[in-house]
Structure 1
Amino acid sequence: MESRLKVLRLFKALHRTRMKVFKDDDRALTAAKQKINEEFRKNMHETSGENLQKMIKMASDVEIVLRQSVVQMEHVGEKKLVLRPREELLLENVPYCDTPRKKL
């Protein structure tokens, strides 16, 4: 029962992440939705605890990669792309410095 709950939470988390990552891109939203649903449906009747844990780990890793690494780009001209990063991907830009900072 606990594994089933983990799987359902992960399924929902993947779909929430999909909605954030591919916002305003209907084609990518649809493709990601189909792939997520297909993979979960394909393994719906899995009962082996070891295999379930491996699949849960894989799905969790996929969700993390989507959330932390995928950035949207849009064609705006023949040779131009516009990068549309999400707020959570923007990090503080610290300039390079030859002398290391002193630890406090």
Structure 2
Amino acid sequence: RTAAVYKILVLRVFRDLHKTRRHVFKDDDRALTAARLKINDEFQKNKNETSEENIKEMLKMARAVETILRENVIQGEHVEQNKILLRPRESLLLDNVPYSDTPRNKTRP
């Protein structure tokens, strides 16, 4: 791939990370700022990287971070001394399937 293609890929993952950051940490100025600074710092540290292999690995890592943020992070807010209010995003809520010691028969006659 050419340098121009990698530049486009890097900018795309940079943009996607910030978009995910804004969505995941909505209404939490402290977390929004910390995540913005971390993302910008990591990209700034590696802006002069020229090794195609290193760039590929960093892109892969950035995508993994974006996926973890999007799929696994839930906002919480301290509302009392020993209580935290969780604010899961709609995309994280799954149907609760009751546990059963005996598996269901997948094929029905």
**TM-score, structure 1 length as denominator?**
0.96
1:58 is matched with which residue?
Answer: 61
CA distance in structure 1 between the partners assigned to 2:103 and 2:8 by the alignment: 47
SS in 1 for 2:8: helix
Q: Does 1:75 align with 2:78?
A: yes
For 2:40, the equivalent position in structure 1 comes to 37
Unaligned runs of 5+ in 2: none
Work out the percentage of aligned pairs sharing the same amino acid: 61
Query: In the alignment, residue 88 of structure 1 is paired with which amino acid?
Result: S
SS at match of 1:83: strand
User: Over aligned residues, Cα RMSD in angstroms?
Assistant: 0.8
TM-score, with structure 2 as normaliser = 0.92
Matched residue, 1:24 = 27
Match of 1:8 in 2: 11
Distance apart, 1:63 and its partner CA: 0.5
Structure 1, gaps ≥5 residues long: none
User: Following superposition, which runs of at least 4 residues in structure 1 exceed 3 angstroms of deviation?
Assistant: none
Bigger Rg over Cα: 2
